[in-house]
Amino acid sequence: MKMPPNAVLAAVAVSATAVAVGVAVAVPSPGDHAAKGAVAASSPLLGTVSTSPGGASSASQPADTAPATTPASASGSPSATTASTPVPKPSGSNIPGRPSATSTGPHPSSAATSTATPSSGTGLDDPRKKEIAMELVSSAENSSLDWRAQYKYIEDIKDGRGYTGGLIGFCSGTGDMLELVQHYTALKPNNVLAKYLNALKADNGSDTHDGLDPNFTSDWKAAAADPLFQQAQNDERDRTYFNPAVSQAKADGLGALGQFIYYDALVMHGPGSDSLSFGGIRAATLRKAKPPSQGGDEVAYLNAFLDARIVAMKADPSHQDTSRIDTEQRVFVKNRNLALATPLHWSVYGDAYTID
């Protein structure tokens, strides 16, 4: 399997609005779970702030975590990271791979925010739009629109990154699963996964299960029924991927569709400055087209971004199927649905989906 380039990683936290409930129809098939990382210090994505293990993240996500009695989390956070050697992470359908994150230090309390006005109406951080984004990503990552069913997902997909689990494919070998369990333990010290913290630290950067087997996967599935573990997954997803993507897209003057396209790229490729990471893809785009914030045409810019992303995908053996671009995102751009308005009809890896 391909070993991605080394990257200095970092991530950004911005509190996000909780997700509204959505309705969708899906045809399931084997899916994939994407990789983790943080934003490179040299990346255009929100400067030099970064991620760390431990500490609470964003505010609680009551709509993401269905039970009404879910307590609110502590406020939140990016945190400092160190350089690390990535572990390859193609996932279930051999689609995504991403850099690893080895993190240290406390979560800072705030991140840069955009002052640009997107050109296409309501942003992706609107609860209804955010629900759509979660379902769109889940169609590619899990072959299902029921993204909430993925809290309990856990397996070793034999990609060199150890166990992959949860909403966004947290990995025991890349540091983000460690950060997740640290955050969960900050919310609930006596949880069923807290006893694995030392093992997760030791296994970070490898594909081993030392100290995790034989009960880690069953304990993970048990924890998934806990609203606080669901909240922790929501928090880490938003802190590392959703909030930075939306913030950067708004700074580039992009509407809800462009914000989603950035988010999906971060989920699959991970943030970073190398050519196969989000920062490198965006940098390649900027050499070809201007974003709306610089007076460019939004459709032309998004097509240039998708072109650059396909180049990055084709450079990695685990990313050869580009249907999530060709038969999903490119379709929305061609239809000039820059506000990501419903109804939406698309297919991924041969499966058809609808959001009404």
Active-site positions read 141, 159
Half-sphere exposure of 7 (CA within 13 A, CB side): 35
Cis status, amide bond into 343, omega within 30 of 0: yes
Q: Is the dihedral of CA 55, 56, 58, 61 positive or negative?
A: positive
**Cβ 276 vs Cβ 283: under 8 Å:** no
Beta bridge partners of 83: 8
CA 117 remoteness from chain centre: 23
Q: State in Å, rounded, how far the first CA of the chain is from the last one.
A: 39
- The contacts found for 329-337 with CB under 8 angstroms, 24 or more apart, are 329/257, 329/260, 329/261, 329/264, 330/303, 330/306, 332/257, 333/257, 333/299, 333/302, 333/303, 333/306, 336/299, 337/257
Q: Give the separation between CA 328 and CA 179, rounded to whole angstroms.
A: 31
How many other CB atoms sit within 10 Å of the CB of residue 336? Answer: 12
Cis status, amide bond into 214, omega within 30 of 0: yes
The encoded tokens of residue 248 equal 């950067």
Q: Give the separation between CA 134 and CA 175, rounded to whole angstroms.
A: 23
* Closest by Cα among 284, 278, 280 to 245: 278
**Cβ 218 vs Cβ 239: under 8 Å:** no
